[in-house]
Amino acid sequence: MSTRIELHAGLGDIFLSLHRESYYENLFALTSRNRISIYINSHNPFVREIFDWHPVHERLDIFVSRQFFPENTNPEVRVKYGFPPEFRHGPFRPRDPGPLPFYPSPLDSRILKDLVPRRPFLLAALSASSPPKSIPAWIAEAAVGECRSRGIPVILTGRTYHPLFNPLLKLHHEEVVVGGDGVVNLIDRLTIPGTAIVLKRCSAMLSCHSALNILGWFERKPQFLCYPESIRRLHFSRQEPDLWSFGKDYPETRHMTFDRFTPQSFGRFLDEYFPRRPQEETVPGTSRAICPGTARKHLGDREMLRYQRRRGVDRSGTAV
- pLDDT digits over 275-314, tens only? 876 554 444 554 444 444 444 444 455 554 554 555 554 4
Neighbours of 197 (CB within 10 A): 20
Say what the pLDDT of residue 289 is: 43
* Chain centre to alpha carbon of residue 87: 31
154 in Cβ contact with 182 (< 8 Å): yes
Mean of all residue pLDDT scores within the chain: 86
Taking every pair of C-alpha atoms in the chain, what is the biggest distance, in angstroms?
89
d(CA 278, CA 146): 19
**How many CB atoms within 10 Å of residue 185?**
17
- Contact 55/28 with Cβ under 8 angstroms? yes
CATH 1.20.1280.260 fits 106-273, yes or no: no
Bridge partners (DSSP) listed for residue 255: 225
Q: State which H helix or E strand residue 204 sits in.
A: strand 204-208
**How, if at all, do strands 281-282 and 253-257 pair?**
unpaired
Q: Where are the beta strands (DSSP E) in 87-164?
A: 122-125, 154-157
pLDDT of residue 27: 95
d(CA 1, CA 263): 57
The full set of domain ranges for the chain reads: 3-80, 106-273, 281-311
Low-confidence ranges of the chain (pLDDT < 70): 1, 164-179, 277-320
Task: Catalogue the long-range contacts made by 170-173 (C-beta closer than 8 Å, 24 or more residues apart).
Answer: 171/127, 171/129, 171/131, 173/126, 173/127, 173/134
Q: Count the alpha carbons within 13 Å of 71 in the hemisphere toward its beta carbon.
A: 9
Q: What is the pLDDT of residue 99?
A: 96
DSSP code, position 85: S
- Beta-bridge partners for 289: 282
Distance CA 188, CA 179 (A): 15
Compute the distance between CA of residue 162 and CA of residue 58 in angstroms, rounded to an integer: 28
pLDDT in tens, 35-65: 999 999 998 999 999 999 999 999 999 999 9
- Residue 217: which of 232, 207, 226, 227 has the closest Cα? 207
Closest CA to 208 of 132, 280, 149, 284: 132
Give the single-character DSSP code of 294: G
Q: What's the pLDDT at 279?
A: 53
